[in-house]
Amino acid sequence: MKLKLILKDGTEVIGKSFGYLLKKDEFVDGEVVFNTAMVGYSETFTDPSYRGQILVCTYPMIGNYGIPGECKLEAGLSKRFESMKVHPRAIIVSEYCKEPSHWESRKTLQDFLIKHKIPAIEGVDTRALTQKLREHGVMLGKIAPENAKYSKSMLFSDPNESNLLDEVSVTKKTILKPKGKSKATVVLIDCGIKHNIIRSFLDRDVSIIRLPWDYDLSSVKEEYDGVFVSNGPGDPVSADKTIESMKWAMKEDKVIFGICLGCQIMGLAAGAKTYKLKYGHRSANQPCTEEGTSRCMITSQNHGYAIDEKSLPKGWKVWFRNANDGTVEGIKHKTKPWFSTQYHPEASPGPEDAAYLFDEFIDHIEKR
């Protein structure tokens, strides 16, 4: 069976289906984006930040090492994935490998996508498609059967206009404990968190109070030492309840750390503005420089929005900057223990240059 990608500008790309089979008149809408990582598709596809998107993989062969077993740890955490669901609405690749080879492989990527009802297309010139997205920016698109016809009256659903946080966040408060003796407790606001962030805290003997994105932070009765705001999908301004919680945490002089969407939320709570990037940063090899130093780190990223540097209020400064395009990759307060990064210091798979930031967060807590 063949499927078609229809972009909002009328561009049509046809390829062979290797995922979930769409019905005759079935369409899948999403924002078409690209990721340049060479490895890590199982982690990428289970990253909640890709919710609502049609993901184009630029690496020429996908599926060559299969999918590992879907083992779970306590509290529903995955040992191998970033969540227990596949979040992109569709996958597009140049070549799909039908016969994977890896000692931990338990199923093919095709079987994995079919299980999670995710359509996928192979045989596409992903280089040309990526070049188009770089020139024109991310675009809305549809995955449809081959015989579907484009028309100017065709409606394209924008996932950023819906509440994606409700789809990826937890629904109730839970408490997670490390195996060893807990040396601190952190409130974690879950906007669609990657499981490796949670593992990064538990591995450092930090207890977690995990909250839904819209939970009123001021109503938490348990004692805690710091506040963390996670990654997640969509336009950061839609995270209004989380922004209010962040403002409250600042008013109460809490120690605060944010990653990805959490960085944008920190900026908005401080009074800055955010904007949408032309085609986003989605890869495992983005260089970021630390302001005022000669340090450059290779980082893993997945975001489509950024903080407007010029809108940062007095008392705040840019902490990290993207070495490719100069955009803000981290902010911090000049005197308060409030800091965040746009990239992912917990990256799995990917570089771990910035994993020390979790230790810095814990050090700030222990100094209180």
Residue 53 pLDDT > 90: yes
Domains 2-161 and 164-367 share a fold: no
Q: Which candidate in 57, 260, 263, 288 is catalytic?
A: 260
pLDDT at 150 over 90: no
**Which residues does 132 contact at the CB level (< 8 Å), separation at least 6?**
7, 11
CB 4 within 8 A of CB 14: yes
Tell me if 258 sits within 8 A of 266, measured CB to CB. Answer: yes
* pLDDT of 66 above 90: yes
Catalytic residue selected from 281, 303, 333, 344: 344
Residue 230 near residue 199 (C-beta atoms within 8 A):
no
Q: What are phi and psi of 290, to 5 degrees?
A: -90, 125
The pLDDT tens digits of the residues spanning 121-131 come to 999 999 999 99
Percent of the residues in the chain that have a pLDDT greater than 90, as a whole number = 91
CATH of segment(s) 2-161:
3.50.30.20
Residue with the two structure tokens 């972009």: 7
Q: What are the tens digits of pLDDT across the range 108-149? A: 999 999 999 999 999 999 999 999 999 999 999 999 999 888
Residue 202 in this model has a pLDDT that exceeds 90: yes
> Is the pLDDT assigned to residue 266 strictly greater than 90?
yes
Query: What pLDDT is stored for residue 120 in this prediction?
Result: 98
pLDDT band at 77 (very low <50, low <70, confident <90, very high): confident
Q: Can 344 be counted among the known catalytic residues?
A: yes
pLDDT tens profile 280-297: 999 999 999 999 999 999
Which pLDDT value is given to residue 115? 96
Alpha-helical (H) ranges within the chain are 41-45, 109-115, 126-136, 164-168, 195-202, 240-251, 261-270, 356-367
CA 284 to chain centre: 12
Q: Which two tokens stand for residue 167?
A: 């789809």
**Domain-wise residue ranges, the chain:** 2-161, 164-367
Write the DSSP symbol of residue 23: P
* Among 43, 195, 346, 364, the one annotated catalytic: 346
Catalytic-residue membership of 346:
yes
Superfamily, domain 164-367: Class I glutamine amidotransferase (GATase) domain (3.40.50.880)
- The mean pLDDT value of the chain amounts to 95
The average pLDDT across 32-37 equals 96
